[in-house]
Amino acid sequence: MTDHSTDIAESFRARLRDDLKTAMRTRDRMTVGVTRSLIAAVDNAQAVRLENDGGPYVERAFGAGGTETARNELTAEGLRILLEREATDRRKAADELAAHGQDERAETLRKEADVVDQYRQA
């Protein structure tokens, strides 16, 4: 894991947390939801898959730090792809909702995608 990729993910996560605090103070519910969703997406992108997922019991270290593991790298390109996917998924869902007459919810998703796009352009 390189320090640069860690810095990218950590600085983006810190920015999201700052934006989340601001959105909570101003009671901007949509931005609160989008920033929480993006924080989770970054965390999930860095999550390490378990090698023994669902298999027999494996003895693990006990105590402080016993379950810690290095996170996967999230490069600038990986972050760009993640944000692009988040915006695209919202727009696709908005199109599907609009096709079924749920225009209000579709518009909300489009606005959420616009918020994600602001992070993509920064």
- Residue 45's nearest CA partner among 80, 94, 3 is 80
Task: Return the pLDDT at 113.
Answer: 98
Task: Return the pLDDT at 112.
Answer: 98
User: In tens digits, what is the pLDDT along the chain, a chain of 122 residues?
Assistant: 445 556 888 999 999 999 999 999 999 999 999 999 999 999 999 987 766 556 666 666 666 666 666 778 889 999 999 999 999 999 999 999 999 999 999 999 999 999 999 999 87
pTM beyond 0.85: the answer is: no
CATH fold label, 3-48+74-121: Hypothetical Protein Yqey; Chain: A; domain1 (1.10.1510)
Give the distance, in angstroms, between the CA of residue 83 and the centroid of all CA atoms in the same chain. Answer: 8
Task: Return the pLDDT at 51.
Answer: 67
Task: Return the pLDDT at 17.
Answer: 98
Give residue limits of the domains in the chain. Answer: 3-48+74-121
The Cα 114–Cα 109 span in angstroms is 9
Provide the 3-class DSSP secondary structure of residue 122: coil
